[in-house]
Copies of this chain bind each other. A is one copy, B any other.
Amino acid sequence: MIRFVVIGHRAPTTGEFRLDDICGGAGRLDVLVRCINSTFFLSHDLRKDSEIYLVMQGGDDAPKTVRFYGPELRYLNPDERSTAALIRNALIKKVSTLECMSSPGVYISRMSLGELVNNLASRCEFVYLKEDGVDVRGYVFPENPCFILGDDKDLTEEEENKISSHLCSKISVGPLSLHADHCIIVVLNEMDRRCGLH
């Protein structure tokens, strides 16, 4: 399983946003939905061995974590609006302590970044995507990587500390600083090539 965690610093935690304005009014939810697209879409196929966690830290009901789980995922289309609608369906669900499903392969919980990282630590190795990391092309991927990225904002020092308290590598995707969803494409392309498919 290839996992991504994207931190939505101002991403909404209630369903009270307009699908017409996910870039402005919805705390840059557009960045997160593009990360979902990058995580799963192949040409006429889905990457079923992938999973992405969106840590939503904005709005009145923060934090919440929305999880898209490849093996079970249905009703995902590549466009931003319909993916934002899947997230909104998750956010309007009443959620107490346990994670619950809002549609096939889409889950919602009240996990914070700290809780999520502690929860995942036993199952995967964290790989933090950051400009000053080692080049992904020379990097030896762990068996169960969990790549961590910010949205349009870098991780805060406090957030970085939560990750670095666990075993964590730091990698970069190239000489220029890219959008989060573009970073995911470069990482997955590198992993595809390591599978010896080319």
Contact = CB atoms under 8 A, between A and B. Distances in A.
Contact of A42 (B31, B43, B176, B186): B176
Interface residues of A, number: 38
Interface string A54-76: 00000000000000000000000
Say how many copies of this protein the assembly contains. 2
Given A185-B185, A189-B174, A43 B78 contact: no
Contact of A192 (B30, B42, B174): B174
Nearest to A137: B193
Interface in A135-173: 135, 152, 173
Given A23-B81, A77-B23, A186-B185, A193 B179 contact: no
Contacts of A186: 185-186, 189
Contacts of A178: 42-43, 185, 189
- Identify the interface centre among A45, A174, A182: most chain B CB within 10 Å of its CB: A182
A181 to B, nearest CB: 9
Which 3 residue pairs of A and B lie closest in terms of their CB atoms, listed nearest first? A175-B197, A23-B79, A43-B177
Given A185-B186, A186-B186, A186-B189, 20 more contacts: A30-B79, A31-B78, A34-B37, A34-B78, A41-B182, A42-B176, A42-B178, A42-B179, A44-B152, A44-B177, A45-B177, A80-B80, A81-B81, A173-B189, A174-B189, A175-B192, A175-B193, A175-B195, A176-B192, A182-B185
